[in-house]
Amino acid sequence: MGSITDYDFRTFSAALEGEGGDATRAWLQAETQGFHEPRLGEKSLVRAAAAMVSDGQMLTGAYARTRPEASLGAEVPVATFATFERSINVGGVAPLPAHLISAVTVRPTHRRNGILREMMTTDLDRAVADRYAIAALTVSEATIYRRFGFGVATTVHSISVATDQRFRLLTSPRGRCELIDAREIATLGPAIFAGFHASRVGSVDRHTKYWGRVSGLDGEKSEEDPSVRGALHYDDAGVIDGYVTYKFSGWESDPQIVEVVDLVAQNADAYLGLWQFLASLDLVGTVTYAAAPADDPLRWALADWRLVSVKNVNDWLWMRILDVVAAFEARGYVNDGSTVFAVSDPLGHAAGGYRMRVEGGRAEVTRDDAAAPDLELDASALGSVYLGGADPRVLAAAGQISERSPGAAAAFARLLAPAQQPYGITHF
Ligand SMILES: CC(=O)SCCNC(=O)CCNC(=O)[C@H](O)C(C)(C)COP(=O)(O)OP(=O)(O)OC[C@H]1O[C@@H](n2cnc3c(N)ncnc32)[C@H](O)[C@@H]1OP(=O)(O)O
């Protein structure tokens, strides 16, 4: 068992050249190892580093002060942690800048020495100093981040859709689809995604690396993935308003399967139109999509409701409130009302009593530690209810919210009710 004093922690900007460039390359090799990805070749290293530079990513590495002979070099960190800023649509007048955390790995031979705790607590202190109201991440395991005040804020449905001759929509979506070279999505995708991001509460703006991944330019084996195919959706005026990229899973399965890599639709016609396109693919009987919305119109649009089966409901975005007043005043509301809630937070950032009054879609939140709270919750539950993705009544039933006045959870649920189920399609 080691100790946290066995390591030097260094935080630096991702760079392409010089000392910073060398540190970035060694950091990237450590990160890929942590996620069981192949060692990066020169071309992939340059692409990955360039993407991180363009996103202004800050990288933290933990460096072992001593190491056994012939083990990985001293320049290779035993732990990695990356942060960058992207906005989240919280339903307010403008998307809210968020502190995003990614690429968290600790080498198996150094795990459970408190390295993650050290990197996370230092980083969240820094995010608070930089005046971020919210932090967010997407996770590999659902048991790690609650202790740091993160809670599940949005979910996705992993669905499988039978696209054989039974597939028939009850409606005719407007517009049309056409195939493209999927690599074009690296160029066309950002503008199409921007339309989705602006209109959907819960959406996280995407970082540069995303476009390589969803277009097949950067495949899983750190090389181009030529099996990724793509199609665009055009509205009646010929304006592009959606796309899908997808992969054929091989001839071995029966029926043959197509897996959606990425599906971005700016409106319901584009969404259903892209599904109609997927269902029209010959020699394919099933289409799978790992990130469908909970309020999916597809099932309702189908003549046969049973063609869609939900394989799993997965946690997606985990949110951490760093500044309660700023975060709740930034989001949008559909109902008026008021409440007093008390937050417990082992890291301190969100701790305290808060009085919230909502009128005309805007909230006024003030710190009030003296007032008796209507309900109490911890920072993780607060992150879960923030966008309206988790219902406070359900969290109360799960023992994650304590009512101090009768009906307080129902009143909180009404106050935080979202205009639309929060949903995002960005994993980072
Ligand atoms: C945002 C993202 O990037 S998600 C990706 C997360 N990374 C991975 O899954 C890659 C493989 N796993 C790892 O690299 C490491 O095991 C990590 C990052 C999950 C944990 O790193 P460690 O340095 O071992 O964690 P550390 O020793 O600081 O433990 C911190 C706390 O988390 C707990 N913890 C650590 N890993 C896990 C886990 N997998 N499941 C549950 N609890 C965990 C520890 O028990 C400890 O609890 P405590 O402080 O409340 O007593």
Q: Over the stretch 144-157, which tens digit does the pLDDT of each residue have? A: 999 999 999 999 99
Is the omega angle on the peptide bond into residue 255 within 30 degrees of 0, that is, cis?
Answer: yes
Which carries the bigger pLDDT value, residue 220 or residue 56?
A: 56
96 CA distance to ligand 1 middle (Å): 28
Angle, helix 208-215 to helix 42-54, in steps of 10 degrees: 130
> Residue 426: inside a domain, yes or no?
no
> Residue 421: inside a domain, yes or no?
no
- Best substitution site from 117, 137, 209 to test ligand 1's pocket, by max atoms within 8 Å of Cβ? 117
What pLDDT does residue 173 have?
98
161 pLDDT more than 90: yes
Distance CA 305, CA 303 (A): 6
31 CA distance to ligand 1 middle (Å): 15
Split into its structural domains, the chain has a count of 3
The model's confidence at residue 338, banded by pLDDT at 50, 70 and 90, is very high
Rounded to an integer, the average pLDDT of 188-209 is 97
> Residue 332: inside a domain, yes or no?
yes
55 CA distance to ligand 1 middle (Å): 25
- Encoded tokens for 48: 């990955």
99 CA distance to ligand 1 middle (Å): 20
Rounded to an integer, the average pLDDT of 126-144 is 97
142 pLDDT more than 80: yes
Ligand 1 atom closest to residue 79's alpha carbon, by position in its atom list: 14
Shared domain for 244 and 393, answered yes or no, is no
The 3-class SS string of the chain reads: CCCHHHEEEEEEECCCCHHHHHHHHHHHHHHHHHCCCCCCCHHHHHHHHHHHHHCCCEEEEEEECCCCCCCCCCCCCCEEEEEEEEEECCCCCCCEEEEEEEEEEECHHHCCCCHHHHHHHHHHHHHHHCCCCEEEECCCCCCCCHHHCCEECCEEEEEEEECCCCCCECCCCCCEEEEECHHHHHHHHHHHHHHHHHHCCCCECCCHHHHHHHHCCCCCCCCCCCCEEEEEEECCCCCEEEEEEEEECCCCCCCCEEEEEEEEECCHHHHHHHHHHHHCCCCCCEEEEEEECCCCHHHHHECCHHHEEEEEEEECCEEEECCHHHHHHHCCCCCCEEEEEEEECCCCCCCEEEEEEEECCEEEEEECCCCCCCEEEEHHHHHHHCCCCCCHHHHHHCCCEEECCCCHHHHHHHHHCCCCCCCCCCCC
Shared domain for 306 and 164, answered yes or no, is yes
What percent of the chain has pLDDT above 90?
96
Please tell me the residue having the least CA distance from ligand 1 atom 35.
144
Q: Which of 132, 166, 191 is the last residue of a domain?
A: 132
Rounded to an integer, the average pLDDT of 310-324 is 98
> Residue 363: inside a domain, yes or no?
yes
Please tell me the residue having the least CA distance from ligand 1 atom 34.
144
Q: Which of 294, 314, 334 is the last residue of a domain?
A: 314
Q: Which of 286, 314, 342 is the last residue of a domain?
A: 314
Distance CA 173, CA 211 (A): 27
Domain CATH number, residue 118: 3.40.630.30
Task: Express each pLDDT in 208-256 by its tens digit.
Answer: 999 999 999 998 766 899 999 999 999 999 999 999 999 999 999 999 9
Rounded to an integer, the average pLDDT of 119-137 is 98
What pLDDT does residue 361 have?
95
Shared domain for 126 and 12, answered yes or no, is yes
What pLDDT does residue 394 have?
98
Please tell me the residue having the least CA distance from ligand 1 atom 45.
112
What pLDDT does residue 65 have?
96
> Residue 142: inside a domain, yes or no?
no
What pLDDT does residue 24 have?
98
What percent of the chain has pLDDT above 70?
99
The separation between CA 351 and the C-alpha centre of its own chain, rounded to angstroms, equals 25
- Best substitution site from 143, 144, 152, 204 to test ligand 1's pocket, by max atoms within 8 Å of Cβ? 144
Shared domain for 358 and 332, answered yes or no, is yes
Please enumerate, by residue number, every residue annotated as part of a binding site: 104-106, 112-117, 140-141
Shared domain for 173 and 229, answered yes or no, is yes
117 CA distance to ligand 1 middle (Å): 8
Rounded to an integer, the average pLDDT of 23-52 is 94
What pLDDT does residue 189 have?
98
> Which structural domain range is residue 366 located in?
324-416
Rounded to an integer, the average pLDDT of 158-180 is 97
Q: Which residues line ligand 1 (CB under 6 A)?
A: 34, 101-106, 111-117, 137, 139-141, 143-144, 147
Task: Express each pLDDT in 350-392 by its tens digit.
Answer: 999 999 999 999 999 999 999 999 999 999 999 999 999 999 9
Mind telling me the catalytic residues?
145, 428
Shared domain for 228 and 279, answered yes or no, is yes
Shared domain for 167 and 117, answered yes or no, is no
What pLDDT does residue 1 have?
67
Shared domain for 107 and 213, answered yes or no, is no
- Best substitution site from 36, 111, 428 to test ligand 1's pocket, by max atoms within 8 Å of Cβ? 111
pTM of structure: 0.96
Please enumerate, by residue number, every residue annotated as part of a binding site for acetyl-CoA: 104-106, 112-117, 140-141
Shared domain for 250 and 389, answered yes or no, is no
Shared domain for 96 and 233, answered yes or no, is no
